[in-house]
């Protein structure tokens, strides 16, 4: 299925940006430093296709998530949501959330998509 905004195989790192690591052609894990903090993926099961993004660090107040028409918009919205979440979270709360994720054995898994 062809969808607008499908990126090339690799996304070049940009200075002062969060890093994306490819899970699949249109599916990325989002990292800040060495810490996985979220995911951005193209939802081809939706019509029209949209880019879904979500923060995966479990903190009180709910997890930010959203959708966008293209990858660049999804990255910008994700970054804004992440920065807002960090601004209202103490360093201790963030460290505890990172530790809990590490010890919970959570692994980033590939989610099968419908054909």
The pLDDT of residue 32 is 93
Mean pLDDT by 10 residues, the chain (115 residues): 52 61 95 93 95 89 90 96 90 88 59 48
Maximum Cα–Cα distance across the chain? 44
74 located within any domain: yes
97 located within any domain: yes
Domain with 78, as residue range(s), is: 19-102
The pLDDT of residue 109 is 46
12 located within any domain: no
The pLDDT of residue 3 is 64
5 located within any domain: no
How far is it, in rounded angstroms, from Cα 86 to Cα 64? 11
109 located within any domain: no
Question: In the chain, how many domains are there?
Answer: 1
98 located within any domain: yes
Contact 97, 58 (CB under 8 A): yes
Find all residues with CB under 8 Å of 50, minimum gap 6, and list them: 42, 43, 67, 68, 69
112 located within any domain: no
The pLDDT of residue 101 is 82
10 located within any domain: no
């Amino acid at each position: 299925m062809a969808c607008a905004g499908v990126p090339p195989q690799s996304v070049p790192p940009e200075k002062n940006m969060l890093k994306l690591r490819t899970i699949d052609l249109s599916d990325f894990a989002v990292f800040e430093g060495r810490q996985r903090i979220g995911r951005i993926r193209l939802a081809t099961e939706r019509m029209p296709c949209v880019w879904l993004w979500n923060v995966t660090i479990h903190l009180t107040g709910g997890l930010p998530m959203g959708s966008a028409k293209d990858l660049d918009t999804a990255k910008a919205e994700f970054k804004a949501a992440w920065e807002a979440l960090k601004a209202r979270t103490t360093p201790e709360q963030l460290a505890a959330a990172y530790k809990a994720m590490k010890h919970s054995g959570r692994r980033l898994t590939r989610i099968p998509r419908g054909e």
